[in-house]
Amino acid sequence: MTRENAPEFARWIRRFHPRPAAEHTLVCFPHAGGAASYYHGLSAALGPDVEALVVQYPGRENRLFEDPAPSVEWLADAVAGVLEAGAVERPVFFGHSMGAIVAFETARRLDRTSARPAALVASASAAPSHPEPRAPLLDALADETDTEILAGIMGLGGTDTDVAEHAELIRLVLPAVRADLSALARYRVAPDATVRCPVVVYAPEDDPSAPARDAALWGRHTAGGTAEVHRFAGGHFYFASLAGPFLDRLRLTVRAAGTGVAFA
């Protein structure tokens, strides 16, 4: 049985544009409250030599009626197991916002396996051991209404504003949003926790949740000791329009990973 037909792989991984002959694999990890479909356009735009495998967290879309993940660590354990069992070899990880932290923890679990990533792209995310940007989330979850939390997510640009007009959809979406934000807020890791692969940081210039000035702190968490940083115009969801500079940089990162060629 191929991984594409394995029930567990299909439950966790979406392949919107199968490219079995592709030379490179990009595994995408969504943001808090996000779902795999957010990466449909990116999957299509990558080109014939890159296949996107998009992680689908429980509690949304085709997994809507599953309980959301209780922690970042739980998610990383599950995704690492699926990727290793599915014989995914030397992919590049792309994690956006909370997805960068899940990708980092998944990479740690795969460091000694054939599924270990060739590179980790951390997009719009504070470094794992830099909890200050995440600390206020717990207070917000305790004090804010569902509407206020959804408005905060929409303020970052990651949710269609029309959702606010549909109470039933809000009722379905909010448990996953709250669970993701709670998992992220409670996440802590040792300052010396590292992955073996290179870390490349994509830092939007106007993102209050992950200030670009702190992007280099990701260097603490790679065995190489430094992280390559690329800055982009825009806010937290800077790549939503799939602008040329972002796509060009991502393609270069993916194609260069594991080849010994400098990303720059």
Residues catalogued as catalytic: 97, 236
Phi/psi-derived region of residue 103, left when phi > 0, alpha when psi is between -120 and 50, beta in every other case: alpha
- Print burial letters for 57-82: b (CB count within 10 Å at least 16), e (below 16): bbbbeebeeeebbeebbebbebbbbb
Sheet holding 199-204, edge to edge: 13-14, 50-55, 24-29, 92-96, 119-123, 199-204, 228-232
Q: Who contacts 187 (Cβ-Cβ below 8 Å, separation ≥6)? A: 71, 72, 73, 101, 128, 131, 134
Q: How far apart are CA 180 and CA 203, in angstroms?
A: 21
Q: How far is CA 133 from CA 120, 186, 243, in A?
A: 21, 12, 27
For every residue of 64-116, DSSP letters joined together read TTSPPPS-HHHHHHHHHHHHHHTT--SPEEEEETHHHHHHHHHHHHHTTSTT-
